[in-house]
Amino acid sequence: MIDFVGDTDGTQRVLDALVARSKVIMHNLANQNTPGFKAHRVRFEELLQDAKGSGKDPGDVHPEIYRDNSGGPGVNNVAPMEELAIMDKVRLLHDVFARRAAGYFSTVNKAIRGRA
């Protein structure tokens, strides 16, 4: 049996993490010329792995935003090309998971309408 609730919930969590990562990247790029600005990052995949490894419910995992304090004090650590590369990855993953969610709802719609 397909677990639509669990699958769609997991897909939604991934999409939420990708949206958070997109917002953080845009924030970082907007501040790429701000002296002393430290980039922000989103931690999600590691938290999900840790939850699965320790037997915790992956449904309780939420994206976590933190500041990357690498680099010297007063030095801006935003690398625009790196941010754009991450944004491309986010875009591709968002497309995959959005299609996955659409597939779930298409299947439900066919089941409701009685079409194969």
Q: What is the pLDDT of residue 59?
A: 80
Say which residues have a Cβ less than 8 Å from residue 75's Cβ, sequence separation at least 6. 36
Which residues pair with residue 66 across a beta bridge? 41
* Predicted pLDDT at 1: 46
pTM greater than 0.85 (yes/no): no
Q: Cα-flanking dihedrals φ and ψ of residue 66, to 5°?
A: -140, 165
Ordered by start, the domain boundaries in the chain are 4-113
pLDDT computed for residue 115 by the predictor: 66
- Compute the distance between CA of residue 13 and CA of residue 31 in angstroms, rounded to an integer: 27
H helices, E strands: number in the chain: 3, 2
pLDDT tens track of the chain, all 116 residues? 455 556 678 888 899 999 999 999 999 999 999 999 999 999 999 999 999 899 888 888 899 999 999 989 999 999 999 999 999 999 999 999 998 888 777 777 777 887 65
Nearest to 15 by CA among 109, 85, 99: 99
